[in-house]
Amino acid sequence: MGPLGVGQTADELAALDQKACDMCGITFFEFRNQGRLGCPHDYVHFEKELEPLIANIHGATTHTGRRPSRAAAAGLPEGTDELTGLIGLRRSMKDAIACEDYENAKEDRDAIRALEDRWLGPPPA
Ligand SMILES: [Zn+2]
């Protein structure tokens, strides 16, 4: 009779931390510490892991003020707010496309690109 799932959760977290991006090699652990991604592929790669966190963040508060960010309130690194925004936009874009709402899909896509540019810097010359 072991503890109720505690060990399993820790194992899962450890495994998750070691999950790395195929493109740039950044791990979820590094992301959690730095709050920054290595390449545009990362937020797709880690989307599944981040979705529950994002659900918590959105459930915790709807405020978008300048005081402790939603990400900080959830114990996530600074910069995660933008990541959650990015993932939210991706979902929104998918939904818009599914509804054939291409106007909104285009707006979402543009917002995603703007965020990606800011996160990852200008493309190499
Ligand atoms: Zn990457």
The C-alpha atoms of residue 37 and residue 80 are separated, in whole angstroms, by 10
Residue 1 lies in a domain: no
Distance (Å) from CA 125 to ligand 1 centroid? 20
Residue 109 lies in a domain: yes
DSSP classification of residue 123 = P
Distance (Å) from CA 98 to ligand 1 centroid? 27
Q: Which amino acid is at 69?
A: S
Residue 56 lies in a domain: yes
Q: 3-state DSSP helix/strand/coil percent for the chain, to nearest 5?
A: 65, 0, 35
If one counts the domains in the chain, the total is: 1
Q: Which residue has the higher pLDDT, 100 or 6?
A: 100
Distance (Å) from CA 82 to ligand 1 centroid? 16
Residue 94 lies in a domain: yes
The C-alpha atoms of residue 22 and residue 53 are separated, in whole angstroms, by 22
Give 13-63 pLDDT, tens digit per residue: 788 889 999 889 999 888 878 777 788 788 778 888 777 766 665 554 444
Distance (Å) from CA 25 to ligand 1 centroid? 6
3-class DSSP state of 72: helix
Predicted local distance difference test score (pLDDT) of residue 67: 55
Residue 95: which domain range? 6-120
The C-alpha atoms of residue 82 and residue 43 are separated, in whole angstroms, by 11
Distance (Å) from CA 99 to ligand 1 centroid? 30
Residue 125 lies in a domain: no
DSSP classification of residue 61 = -
Query: Of the given ranges (2-11, 29-38, 50-59, 111-120), which has the lowest mean pLDDT?
Result: 2-11
Cα torsion through 98, 81, 67, 72, rounded to 10: 130
Residue 107 lies in a domain: yes
Residue 19 lies in a domain: yes
Q: In the block, which residue shows the tokens 């800011």?
A: 118
Q: Which amino acid is at 96?
A: A
Give 53-110 pLDDT, tens digit per residue: 666 655 544 444 455 566 666 666 666 677 777 788 888 999 999 999 999 999 999 9
